Each structure stands twice: as C-alpha cells, then as structure tokens.
Structure 1
Amino acid sequence: MKKLVPAFILIVFFGCFHKQIISSFNSVKSIRLQSDLAFISSHSVPSKQIVLTSNTQPFTTIQQRNTEASLNDLLFFPLPFLQQDANPIIIPLRIGALDSQANNKAAQLLDNRITPVSGLEKELTNPASLLLQYNLYEKAITVVKNKQTLLPFRNLDTLTFASLTIGEPKGNTFQNYLSKYTSFQHFAVAGKEISEKESETLLSTLGNYKVVIIGLHNVNSSALQAYGISQASRTLIERLRTKTDVVLAVFGSPYSLKYFDRVENLVCAYDNNSITQKIVPQILFGAIPASGKLPVTVTAGLKAGDGVNTVSLKRLGYSIPEQVGLHSATLRRIDDMVDNYIQDGVMPGAQVLVAKNGKVVFEKAYGHLTYEEKTPVTTHTIYDLASVTKVAATLQAVMSLDAQGKLDINQKASYYLPELKNTNKEDMFIRDLLLHQAGLLAFQDHWTKTKTESGLDSSYYSTKSGPDHPVMVAPGLYGIASLKDSLWQWTLQSRLLKKPSPHKKYTFRYSDIGFDILQQVVERLAEQPLDTYLNQTFYQPLGLDELTFNPLHTFDVNNIAPTEMDNRFRGVLVRGTVHDQEAALMGGVAGHAGLFGTANDLAVLMQMNLQNGFYGGKQYLSDQIVPLFTKTQQPNNKRGLGWDKLQPGENVSTLISANAFGHTGFTGTCVWVDPDEDLIYIFLSNRVYPTVNNTKLARYKVREKIQSVVYSAMGAPDGYVAGLEK
C-alpha cells in the first residue's frame, strides 16, 4: 500500500484576469495549472471536506513559511511572490492526501514547471483549468445556515422571488442565472454606499416578496475596512431580514460573515467571479448539492467546519462541456456554422442549447430577430415553437391525465367527446390520434371560410376588442366569441383520408387535426382550458415563465421573434400571435400549435421527461408514463405516442440512438432527447421570416448537421466533424 501524505495545497489565482493587471506582473512567475495541478488533483485520495478560501494573505518570508507551515504541507505558490509586493488571491484547498507519485510531481512544480505570468491567463482559462475550477468551487461553496431547510427551494409556484445585488450593476451573472430557475424581479445597488431614501424604497418594495436573495459582491480582504461592506449595506440587510425570508450570498472573505450572524439563510462563495456567480444559484435551487464547510472560525456561532449539506433536487445545472465529457473545441464549430447559415439567409437568428448529464453546457444566441439587424437575439428571446407545441403542451397534458387514470389511450375519443358519435370520427382511438394513423387530413384551412372575395368577412371580425369580439387573431383583428365553436363544428364535419382497403387500418399520415381533437379531450377531462391546465400542472411549478401561449399578454413585443408577413390572411407581420392560422382562430391556444418559449425553458421541460417525470424534488408524471409514450409502438409506424423517433427522411441526425425522442416545428424549431446519452438538443429559429417560402433550413439540413456536431463532441477533441464539409 502506498504511503499517503496529508496535503494542504495553496493554489494561486489572480483576483482578476484583466490584461492591465496581468501586465503589471510581467516579471512574476507562476505555476502551470493546466497539467501539473490537474495531475495532482486526479491522483488525490477523495476527502469528505473540500474547502476554498479566498483573500488569504500569503506568507511573506521563507522563515514565516517554515514556521507556520507543517512539514506535511505542500505549499504551491511562486517563490518570487515572497520578495515582491504583489498580493494575489490565494485559495487554500484541502483535497485529502496525495500518493507518492503525485507528491513527487508536486515537488517538481517550483523547480521545473514555472510559467511567466504573461501566459497565465491562457493557462487558467483553458478547458482543463476551467474544469478544475468548476469542480473545486462546487465542492467548496458553503451553505452556512439554512433556516427550516428553506434551501434548496421547492414548490416554486407558491413563492415570489426578488434579488438584490450590492456592489455590482443589475443584470450580472448571478442574477442572470437565478432567472434560469423561475421568475425574478431584480434590483441592484451598484456602489458601496446606499442613501437613506434608496434604502427605504428597497425595504418597501422587497418586503412584498416571499423570498429575497441578496448577492454581496463588494467584499475585500481588509478587516480594517470592514471588508469593503458599508454600514448602510449591513443595516439594509439586517432590516430586510425582519420583513421576509432573506438568503444572503457573500462573494468574498468568510471573515466578513461576522456582520451577518443574525441572517438565517447564509451562503459563503469565498470569491467573486463568473464561476461562483453561476454555481450559487444552482445550489439555491437544488441543481447541485452543497457540501462545503467553513475553513475558519468567524464568530462563536460560525465555527470552522460549520456547513449545512443540502440535497440535489435534480434541476438542470449549468457548466462547461468538459464536465460532462464533451469537447468545447468541437462544439465551437456550431458558432461558425450558424453564423454562415445566417449570412446565407437560412434564418435571421437562432438559439442553440445542449444539455448532458443534467447540465446545460452549451447555450448560445445568434444573429438578430430580423435580417435588418436591429435587435440581436438573446437567450431570452421568445420564439414561436409551432408543432413543438404537440409534445411540449398537449402531449404533456395527455400523459398527465393518463398517469392519473382519468384518460385511457386505448379508449375511443368519442367516449370522452359524445359529439363525435354519428360522425366519421366516432371510432377513432386516442392511441391512433397520438400515432397519426386515424385517417385525418394533414391540416385544415378553415380560416378561408372567414374570408370573402374582397377580404375578411365582417360577420366574423372587428378591428376592436370587446365582449362580442374577444378572440385576438392579431393585434387590431378580433374574432367573434363563437369563432372557436365554429372551428370545432367544421372539424367534426371534415372529411377523412381514403383507405387503401375498407378492411385495413389507416397507416401513418402526420396530422394537426388529431392533436386538436386531443385538446378537446384534455379540456373536457380537466374541466379547464388547455393552457390553464398546463400552467397549473407543469409550467408554473417548474418555474417556466418563458414558456407560454399568447406571449403578448406577458412579454414586450420587442422580445418576441417575428414570423411571417401574412399577406394571405391577417395582412400584418405576425409577431407575438401564433403563426399558424387555425391556431390563431382558436385564440392562440391549439393542440397542434400556439406555444412560445425559449431554449432554456424547453430544456427544463425536456429534462423532466428525460428523468421519467421527476424534477425539482417532485414527481410530475408516474415513472412508467414517459418510457411508454416514447417507445416505438408498431413495426409499420416508427413513431412513439405523440413523439417523433429516428426514421429515414426525418429532420434528425442519424447519430442519435433508437431510444431518442423529440419533435420539429414548421417555424424552424426542434427538440430532441436521447436517454441513452442523457442528452438534450434544442434548436429554435424563425426561418419563416419574412416568408414561408424560405425552405433553406430543411434543404441544407441545418438542424441535423448541428445535432451531428453535438454527438461528435463526445468523440475526438480536435473539433473535426466528418460529413459536414459539403
């Protein structure tokens, strides 16, 4: 058995990697983190306690080092620091014990592997070093106090959230990542001082929220300067905690916690950087568990070794590709591909998201909302999802009702909808509607019945909203109250496909109409509209405030990607109302179309399905439902129940597994979930802007090629992807 040597490693980081700071230390040497430190970490014996502490003063003399460091300590920081005034941030890391091989490697660091500071930024920001930093910070960040196990947050639909950053502007990384989990109202005090008027306004406003999360960012290492925390900030936090539940995250020295020992929900992040600001929200919402412990004693009530272990609720986390076995170099090919497609007029902009092993590791926005390039796409841009509605809305409701025993997919639809009896749809089974083999037409053009030769029929429409015209078809165009009933009657009267033989069953024929019938079944059983049922059952509890029907009710139109200039029907550029004409006549809520959203919110919903109905500590669907609905049902029909599957000619990479499931949308969207690889891929665009005649997205196989890059990222790290050169 190898002899194990206890180690307390001091890793040197610079508090900031700005070029001007690095250039001021050109003569200073530093260790090479990329290979040597990663080597040591990989050879360490796992420890139950991994802690990082920032803003600790370095030893200033060799004598002090020899006096204060035990013989078993391995001190890794460049010797030139001992003779200079440079004051780096040193992060002590207790990783357990090193075997002899790693110990020998460590001993060579100071003598043989010294790198000039001019190359330090590259060393500390390459994938291997970033991976090490993510892993260390995840283990180090400490939940110091957790009143009544408030953390991680559960039951999001019962809470209202606000956040306050002190020391940084509004919209920093911390607040952006909080917003990925649920709806937030964000506030900020950018400077160190808070006026009395500003303090009173914040107290009055923030006191109305059930939970206020405070990020304290202006923390330094000087005890004489109260660690940079103003008295006004401390007073505001103390007063606010008496009004509502406050969670305080301190991004700095643990010694500063002495000012907040009365705060009942307290987190120490030890350092203020983009990584810690991403990780803390994940701990608060249960994407990752907290296991860090305080490395120092702060007060009698905050002692070294204190720290509350929290659990994972299996919410989506956020990290870098290397943490889940993907290669950043390969995924970066997506950037050039999408940019080239935009330049070629395939679509004006797009969102691309990749999640693996429960972590979003690639989420980017490209291009603009239109080709005029006035408004850039962001990760919060709302897209019309088109037929992705079928699986992200209607199918979720169907699976939920089936899991509750209220719906039997082997029953006829007419059992739930008596008006189908004595029609040509009387004998249609729910299962056949889900499999698109009920003999229905692909789609309906009933909107043409509301037009005359001279334009829209005034008996159906008005330019003003009111009790007689409550259905918004487009801004400035409103339908009569009975319009949806008329559509349903026209659906009941619609013809079917001709059977190849009277005694044979219908074969697969993709149809929107089947999901409109399923919508009627859902609403009849749930006794409420489809969108209301989905909001109460899924979207609100999951924290999905950017997944919605009729987004104009809650979002600024400038944040919604436009679709088509509809010259055939509405006579306007469609933006914020559903692109599909039939869905528009139904008030924007249809079983086959109408849902809008972002890649992030779709990823949360798909992750819940990937986890067989479990998410955020709650079982939304029984664990047998998703596997049942996502498997291929029949030899002659490669689809699942409502879900699309891998089959020749479909808009999907051939690299996905046979168990993968997903769906595409007419506006230029897709979602794919691969349980074999624990992988989610989402692509959103508005390729139909300004006309549906733009078919380049399908002709160039854009969605499929990007998906192939994602799968190739699990292979060689050189960024080469075969078959995409053409």
Structure 2
Amino acid sequence: MGFDAAFDLVNEWVESGRIPGAVLGVLDPDEPEPRVRAVGLAQREPDERPMTTDTWFDLASLTKVIFTTPRILDAAAAGILDLDGPITQVLTELRQFDPEAWQRRITLRDCLTHASGLPATFPVYTYGTDPDQLRAFVIQRDWPHGDPAYSDLNYMLLGFVLERLAGVHIRDLDAGDGFAWSADPAEAAATEYCPWRRRMLVGTVHDENAAALQGAGHAGLFGTAASVLAFARGLLDGTGAAPESIELMRTPVGPRRTYGWEHPYEGWSGGEACSPATIGHTGFTGTGLWIDFDAGRAWTLLTNRVHPTRWSDSGVIELRRLVADALY
C-alpha cells in the first residue's frame, strides 16, 4: 500500500499553501492498527496551532453518512420506519395546509437517495433566530420541485424524523462513539471566518443552517481520524449497523449514488484504482471518507481547506483523487 506516497501528496499541498493542514488515515486488512499521520496547521489565523493526529474536525456532510443514514436505515430495519412510505408517517404536519402538496408524497427513500426533487440548499438561517421556528419553516415551506439533486434539505428532513422519533433535538442525541456536536477549540481544526457570526469558527459548526437549527441531519458532527476510521471498520466487519442497512449503503441506486453514499463513477472523489464495491462521501469543510469492501480497506482525508476562507483554490478535489490512487 502506498501510504507514504499518498502522504507525500498531502504534504505537497500543505507546503504549497493550498491547504493549511491535513490528517490522512488508512485502515488496511494487512495492518493491525490504522496508519494516521498529520501535517501542517490546525489553525493559521489569528494564531498558529499545529495539526496533530488527534485534531477534531468539523465533518460537515460526513454527518449525513456517519450519523443520519445509519440511524434512519436501522430504524427501517427494525420496522419503526417504512422507507417507501411518505415522510408524513413521522412529520405528519409537512405542508399541512395543502393536503395535495407534492412534498407530502416525498418518501424516506427519496431523501436517502437524493431523489426527492427538493432544492440543493437554501439559506434557512436568514429567516429567523429561533431553531424550532426554522424547523417549522422548512417543514411548511412550499419548496419548488426540480430535478433530483444532492440536497441538504433531504437530510434536514431526515434529521427532523430522527428528532421526532427520539423526542429531543439532534444535539441532545448521542453523536456516537468518538463523535460530538462540538469540540474544544484548543483541539479542533479551524474552519472559516464567518461574516454572519463575525468570528473565526473553531470547534463550532461551520454550516450556517446547522448552526441556526442548533443541530441538523445534514451537518454538524465532529470527529477525529481515529473515530472516522473506527466507524468505517464497523461497516467493514458488519458491527456498525444492521446488515440490511449496510447492504443498502452499498447498493447503487443510479449512476453515482447508493443510500446516502456515492459509488465509483468517472472522476469521483475516490479515484480510479478502488474496487466497484467502494462507497465514499465528502464534506464541504474539506473532509472525506471512502470504504472499499472488496479490498477491506478504508481511508479518510481530513483537511481544513476552508480556513481562513472558502474563497480560495485549495485543489482538494484533485488531491482526494490523487491520494486515493496512490494508496493502491
């Protein structure tokens, strides 16, 4: 396995200034323990802090696949939810003032596979400051119907489903072993200076909508390379979710997607050398996780590519593909 070659690429990106820092972690069947290595800075501004293998990252959209997807699928496997039933089986008040509204026909399966037709995203956080009022806004809004697209709104709704089943907000739910909904700023990778919150974000969620909702199904989870790889190991050895759930996570539902995850396609983030039985997902802050079931291998590349601003050319899309191919 080309771990050293892959890490040399990550180091090259850091030395060129394209990303402040990164942690690369690989779980391989020939190695008893994961290999994890860090480089660069966890924070560049206003003060510098080094990146370490124990640095906590805002995992951004990895929340969708590490937290929300397994819990929804496990609830379905347990008979608590019907994936083909409308989301109104739990969110009974969805678009309640229009019984014929198309949104009331959206199923859990539609949301999991990004087939609902809901918009990709929306600045929900600009519509108020009360998190429960914002939940009602999302649930009651007459969203336009479009072509199927990768959508944060799909996973906001799935997060609301989990909240409704548990009777508490997501931030009051157990984030999972090795995960949390925030992190100690002294131990976390900084993300971005936020004009809305007027501060550098460190240890608090980067995604504005997740912040305004005070917990959401599409973003907000924090973790380390070790915790991300431990989650991957659970899927590889079958202990991390119900067997039916893992099978669906691996099942293609189109040219790019499975349930929650992506599978290999030309130009995808997991490179060209992995097996067809690979799933992966990335996060806006610069994170990513890929799991190759045929090879028994998983790898995570965690970067703070949005620090101090998202408006720079980090080249992280290219880096992900190069790292993946180097590992093989």
Same fold (TM over 0.5): yes
Cα deviation for residue 571 of structure 1 reads 0.9
Q: Distance in 2 between matches of 1:533 and 1:404?
A: 19
Cα deviation for residue 523 of structure 1 reads 1.8
Matched ranges for 1:389-538 at <5 A: 389-420=63-94, 421=96, 422=98, 423-450=101-128, 460=129, 483-499=130-146, 506=147, 508-535=148-175
2:225 pairs, out of 599, 602, 617, with: 599
Q: Does 1:561 align with 2:186?
A: no
TM-score when normalising by structure 2: 0.92
Over the matched positions of the two proteins, sequence identity in percent amounts to 30
- Any idea what the Cα deviations from partners look like across 1:522-579, whole Å, max 9, x if unmatched? 12223333344444xxx2xxxx33x11122xxx3x11111111112x11111111100
Counterpart residue number, 2:304:
686
Q: Distance in 2 between matches of 1:663 and 1:622?
A: 20
Cα deviation for residue 652 of structure 1 reads 2.2
Instruction: Tell whether the 8 Å contact from 2:125 to 2:212 is kept in structure 1 after alignment.
Output: yes
CA distance change for structure 1 residues 512 and 561 in 2, over 3 Å: closer, same or farther? same
Q: Distance in 2 between matches of 1:448 and 1:702?
A: 33
Q: Whose radius of gyration is greater, 1 or 2?
A: 1
Q: Distance in 2 between matches of 1:578 and 1:559?
A: 14
- Any idea what the Cα deviations from partners look like across 1:195-238, whole Å, max 9, x if unmatched? xxxxxxxxxxxxxxxxxxxxxxxxxxxxxxxxxxxxxxxxxxxx
What code does the residue aligned with 1:608 have?
Answer: G
CA distance change for structure 1 residues 697 and 497 in 2, over 3 Å: closer, same or farther? farther
Instruction: Tell whether the 8 Å contact from 1:391 to 1:663 is kept in structure 2 after alignment.
Output: yes
What code does the residue aligned with 1:549 have?
Answer: W
Instruction: Tell whether the 8 Å contact from 1:564 to 1:574 is kept in structure 2 after alignment.
Output: yes
Instruction: Tell whether the 8 Å contact from 1:668 to 1:697 is kept in structure 2 after alignment.
Output: no
Counterpart residue number, 1:709:
326
Q: Does 1:388 align with 2:71?
A: no
- Any idea what the Cα deviations from partners look like across 1:434-480, whole Å, max 9, x if unmatched? 11110111112022234xxxxxxxxx4xxxxxxxxxxxxxxxxxxxx
Higher mean C-alpha displacement, 335-344 vs 593-602: 335-344
Q: Distance in 1 between matches of 2:297 and 2:305?
A: 25
Q: Does 1:632 align with 2:279?
A: no
Instruction: Tell whether the 8 Å contact from 2:9 to 2:322 is kept in structure 1 after alignment.
Output: no
TM-score when normalising by structure 1: 0.43
Counterpart residue number, 1:379:
53
Cα deviation for residue 623 of structure 1 reads 2.1
Cα deviation for residue 640 of structure 1 reads 0.6
What code does the residue aligned with 1:333 have?
Answer: A
What code does the residue aligned with 1:340 have?
Answer: E
Counterpart residue number, 1:666:
284
Q: Distance in 1 between matches of 2:174 and 2:284?
A: 22
Counterpart residue number, 1:336:
8
Instruction: Tell whether the 8 Å contact from 2:160 to 2:216 is kept in structure 1 after alignment.
Output: no
| Structure 1 residue matching 2:290: 3-state secondary structure | strand
Q: Does 1:641 align with 2:259?
A: yes
> Structure 1: which 5+ residue stretches go unaligned?
1-325, 451-459, 461-482, 500-505, 615-619, 712-726
Instruction: Tell whether the 8 Å contact from 2:192 to 2:206 is kept in structure 1 after alignment.
Output: yes
What code does the residue aligned with 1:331 have?
Answer: F
Q: Distance in 1 between matches of 2:256 and 2:251?
A: 9
Matched ranges for 1:142-221 at <5 A: none
Instruction: Tell whether the 8 Å contact from 1:394 to 1:530 is kept in structure 2 after alignment.
Output: no
Q: Does 1:365 align with 2:35?
A: no
- Any idea what the Cα deviations from partners look like across 1:357-412, whole Å, max 9, x if unmatched? 27434210111113367321111111111100100111121122122211111111
CA distance change for structure 1 residues 340 and 629 in 2, over 3 Å: closer, same or farther? closer
Instruction: Tell whether the 8 Å contact from 2:70 to 2:245 is kept in structure 1 after alignment.
Output: no
Cα deviation for residue 685 of structure 1 reads 0.8
Q: Distance in 2 between matches of 1:667 and 1:571?
A: 18
Instruction: Tell whether the 8 Å contact from 1:632 to 1:639 is kept in structure 2 after alignment.
Output: yes
Counterpart residue number, 2:181:
549
Q: Distance in 1 between matches of 2:34 and 2:231?
A: 17
Q: Does 1:577 align with 2:204?
A: yes
Instruction: Tell whether the 8 Å contact from 2:115 to 2:149 is kept in structure 1 after alignment.
Output: yes
Instruction: Tell whether the 8 Å contact from 1:354 to 1:360 is kept in structure 2 after alignment.
Output: no
Instruction: Tell whether the 8 Å contact from 2:110 to 2:116 is kept in structure 1 after alignment.
Output: yes
Cα deviation for residue 498 of structure 1 reads 4.3
Cα deviation for residue 657 of structure 1 reads 1.6
Q: Does 1:354 align with 2:1?
A: no
Matched ranges for 1:226-305 at <5 A: none
- Any idea what the Cα deviations from partners look like across 1:239-298, whole Å, max 9, x if unmatched? xxxxxxxxxxxxxxxxxxxxxxxxxxxxxxxxxxxxxxxxxxxxxxxxxxxxxxxxxxxx
CA distance change for structure 1 residues 624 and 498 in 2, over 3 Å: closer, same or farther? closer
Cα deviation for residue 682 of structure 1 reads 0.2
Counterpart residue number, 1:623:
243
CA distance change for structure 1 residues 408 and 695 in 2, over 3 Å: closer, same or farther? farther
Instruction: Tell whether the 8 Å contact from 2:135 to 2:213 is kept in structure 1 after alignment.
Output: no
Shift >4 Å, 4+ stretches: none
Q: Distance in 1 between matches of 2:85 and 2:269?
A: 31
Q: Distance in 2 between matches of 1:622 and 1:580?
A: 29
What code does the residue aligned with 2:307 have?
Answer: Y
Instruction: Tell whether the 8 Å contact from 1:425 to 1:492 is kept in structure 2 after alignment.
Output: no
| Structure 1 residue matching 2:37: 3-state secondary structure | strand
Cα deviation for residue 694 of structure 1 reads 1.7
Q: Distance in 2 between matches of 1:431 and 1:385?
A: 23
Cα deviation for residue 345 of structure 1 reads 1.8
Q: Distance in 2 between matches of 1:389 and 1:442?
A: 16
What code does the residue aligned with 2:296 have?
Answer: D
CA distance change for structure 1 residues 668 and 435 in 2, over 3 Å: closer, same or farther? same
What code does the residue aligned with 1:403 have?
Answer: A
Q: Distance in 1 between matches of 2:267 and 2:311?
A: 20
Q: Distance in 2 between matches of 1:607 and 1:531?
A: 25
CA distance change for structure 1 residues 576 and 527 in 2, over 3 Å: closer, same or farther? same
Instruction: Tell whether the 8 Å contact from 1:439 to 1:496 is kept in structure 2 after alignment.
Output: no
Counterpart residue number, 1:586:
213
Q: Distance in 2 between matches of 1:609 and 1:533?
A: 21
The Cα RMSD (Å) is 1.9
